[in-house]
């Protein structure tokens, strides 16, 4: 076991509210344990370029409430080449970085797994993604804030839908996972929720809408995950307009607004907890794992599992949503 004297921390992939709280926890826990902490700007891209900055306690003051990431983030195709990784390793070695804390999603951890095995380099991952699809943690950093952003927006849209007797189709993020769509849909009382994990039957959706309108319902909301097999909000609206032209449909694509904003209390506490335990685990010789929280306990999941397995959608929750929308 090597004695760790200097830790590098970086954020990679899509940004998520709470990443700054995670950086803060890593920096302050490291310094408290007499470890020097180096911030790596723009993820793996910055690692290849040698874009490093020394972090002090003051470097992370007044950031816990900020969205985005002060270290910036990027995706790097070059890191997935042996030449790119060799350059990154040499840069880390040149400044004396002994271990890394990687904050991101499955792409980040795929790179971390390859790099750690290739160079026998200690890395611990922290789940930072609004999608909540990583195996090994009940919640990922940023998911709760994204949910609240969707709920706030959908509540406002519900007001105008009611005022104008309209059916709004709201598309949320979730190319491969429907966690945001499912939980926000339940929270706003959506008339239907369309997610990638469950096949969408458009005829059944149309039948339900006709039934609702026969009961004198004059407005409604459908939440659609961008990766749903129906093709997204525009395709759903197109079918509804063709087969039920009497419905006044409108489309709202929430897009990247879901990634921004001040993190919720839950995300700040989760990020702080995982950042603290990531550093403590490295100091104990634990690495090649993602730190998460399952059933309110901190757990460590090997990168291999975290990247190859995916958190399963709660199918009973989807059934409950359908019952409550009647």
Residue found by looking up tokens 């969707």 in the block: 150
Q: Supply the Cα-derived Rg of the chain in whole angstroms.
A: 22
Q: Which two tokens stand for residue 75?
A: 């995706």
| Residue 185, φ and ψ in degrees, nearest 5 | -60, -40
Helix (H, G, I), strand (E, B) or coil at 220: strand
The owner of tokens 């306690």 is 57
Separation between Cα atoms, residue 127 and residue 231, nearest integer Å? 28
Catalytic residue flag (residue 131): yes
* Contact between residue 104 and residue 124 where contact means Cβ atoms under 8 Å apart: no
**Could you give the CA distance from residue 201 to residue 179 in angstroms, rounded to a whole number?**
19
Q: Pick the catalytic residue: 15, 98, 131, 192?
A: 131
Residue 86: CB atoms within 10 A of its CB come to: 13
C-alpha–C-alpha distance, residues 91 and 84, integer Å: 11
For residue 151, which of 18, 258, 67, 68 has the smallest C-alpha distance?
258
Active site residues: 131
């Amino acid at each position: 076991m090597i004695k760790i004297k200097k830790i590098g921390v970086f954020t990679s992939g899509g940004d998520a509210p709470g990443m700054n709280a995670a950086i803060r926890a890593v920096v302050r826990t490291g310094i408290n344990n007499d470890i020097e902490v180096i911030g790596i700007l723009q993820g793996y891209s910055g690692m290849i370029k040698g874009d490093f900055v020394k972090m002090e306690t003051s470097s992370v003051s007044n950031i816990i409430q900020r969205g985005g990431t002060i270290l910036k983030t990027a995706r790097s195709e070059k890191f997935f080449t042996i030449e790119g990784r060799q350059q990154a390793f040499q840069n880390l070695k040149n400044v004396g970085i002994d271990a890394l804390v990687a904050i991101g999603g499955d792409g980040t951890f795929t790179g971390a797994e390859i790099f750690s095995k290739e160079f026998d380099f200690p890395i611990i991952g922290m789940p930072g993604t609004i999608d909540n699809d990583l195996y090994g943690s009940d919640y990922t950093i940023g998911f709760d804030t994204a949910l609240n952003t969707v709920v706030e927006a959908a509540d406002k849209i519900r007001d105008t839908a009611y005022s104008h007797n309209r059916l709004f189709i709201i598309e949320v993020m979730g190319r491969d996972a429907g966690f945001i769509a499912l939980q926000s849909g339940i929270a706003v009382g959506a008339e239907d929720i369309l997610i990638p994990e469950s096949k969408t039957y458009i005829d059944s959706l149309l039948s339900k809408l006709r039934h609702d309108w026969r009961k004198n319902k004059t407005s409604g909301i459908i939440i659609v995950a961008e990766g749903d097999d129906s093709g997204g909000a525009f395709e759903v609206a197109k079918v509804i307009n063709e087969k039920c032209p009497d419905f006044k449909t409108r489309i709202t694509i929430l897009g990247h607004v879901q990634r921004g904003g001040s993190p919720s209390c839950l995300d700040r506490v989760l990020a702080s907890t995982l950042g603290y335990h990531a550093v403590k685990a490295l100091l104990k010789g634990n690495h090649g794992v993602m730190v998460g929280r399952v059933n309110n306990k901190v757990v460590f999941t090997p990168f291999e599992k975290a990247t190859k397995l995916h958190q399963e959608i709660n199918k009973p929750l989807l059934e409950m949503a359908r019952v409550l929308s009647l």
